Amino acid sequence: MNLAKRKRIFECLRLANPHPTTELCYGTPFQLLIAVLLSAQATDVSVNKATVQLFRDAPTPETMLALGLRRLKGYIKTIGLYNTKAKNILKTCRLLIDEHQSEVPGTREELEALPGVGRKTANVILNIAFGQHTIAVDTHIFRVSNRMGLAPGKTVLEVEAKLMKFVPDEYKKHAHHWLILHGRYTCQARRPRCGACVVFDLCEYRNKVAQ
């Protein structure tokens, strides 16, 4: 796929959704961090159902740490892997308090030093909370990038590197959200909704559909 076609794809995605954003509910960078930690192998809907009460009762690192492990688990027990996530959240709260003045750090190195925070989570935080041009490749973005021919790759890191190289600079800030929403609601795994796709004419997958 050439650069002109990639640009047209993002032009179409922007036209369809000029102001994309995360579907996770949060009020502060700290709450965003916790929501993203909880979202691993879980849906945004399930996370939002749990965090609405959690963030009301414990909106800061200090108040969340004060909950303790047992009480924190009570808030997030409906979310997959909640035992491990609860432990990582409390360790993260402690590090934020002790090493970052209760603020979420704004560098990849500092973020990835927090328990449970990997490259994808760090990319989400850097993009949403700090406005950096990062692209967090999850299962949706990995699938869309390969299926469309936008940035094909065998690994998440390969797809991320190609997206960062091929996505025009003017679209990089919101590319993560456009692609994840496109994969979540249109370019779905089992039955892609090609008839409702705003970029179908530009997608390499259409040749397979036509066969």
Residues 200, 144 share a domain: yes
Could you tell me the CATH number of the domain that includes residue 90?
Answer: 1.10.340.30
Residues 95, 56 share a domain: yes
- In this structure, of 109-113, 142-146, 147-151, 202-206, the range with the lowest mean pLDDT score is 202-206
Average pLDDT over residues 56-71: 98
Residues 183, 119 share a domain: no
Specify whether 120 is catalytic.
yes
The helix (run of H) or strand (run of E) holding residue 70 is helix 61-76
Per-residue model confidence as pLDDT tens digits over 32-51: 999 999 999 899 999 999 99
Residues 110, 168 share a domain: no
Residues 205, 178 share a domain: yes
Task: Count other Cβ atoms within 10 Å, centred on residue 124.
Answer: 26
Q: Count of domains in the chain?
A: 2
Active-site residue identified among 87, 120, 172, 208: 120
Secondary-structure percent of the chain, ordered helix, strand, coil, rounded to 5:
65, 0, 35
Distances in whole angstroms, Cα of residue 148 to Cα of each of 17, 53, 134, 189: 19, 39, 20, 12
Q: How far apart are CA 156 and CA 34, in angstroms?
A: 23
Residues 37, 87 share a domain: yes
Residues 53, 104 share a domain: yes
To the nearest whole number, what is the mean pLDDT of the chain?
95
- The pLDDT of residue 1 is 81
pLDDT category at 2 given cuts 50, 70, 90 is: confident
User: C-alpha dihedral over 171, 175, 179, 184, to 10 degrees?
Assistant: -130
- Domain boundary among the residues 103, 128, 153 is at 128
Residues 193, 149 share a domain: yes
More confident residue, 181 or 210: 181
Percent residues over pLDDT 70 in the chain: 98
Q: Residue 8: which domain range?
A: 3-20+134-210
- Domain boundary among the residues 93, 128, 163 is at 128
Active-site residue identified among 5, 73, 87, 138: 138
On the question of pLDDT at 208 being above 70, the answer is no
Per-residue model confidence as pLDDT tens digits over 88-135: 999 999 999 999 999 999 999 999 999 999 999 999 999 999 999 999
Residues 91, 51 share a domain: yes
- The pLDDT of residue 45 is 96
**One-letter amino acid identity for 158?**
E
Residues 192, 124 share a domain: no
Residues 172, 103 share a domain: no
- Domain boundary among the residues 104, 128, 152 is at 128
Could you tell me the CATH number of the domain that includes residue 180?
Answer: 1.10.1670.10
- The pLDDT of residue 3 is 86
- The pLDDT of residue 205 is 85
- 122 neighbors 111 (Cβ within 8 angstroms): yes
Residues 141, 69 share a domain: no
pLDDT category at 192 given cuts 50, 70, 90 is: very high
Calculate the CA 78 to chain-centre distance.
Answer: 20
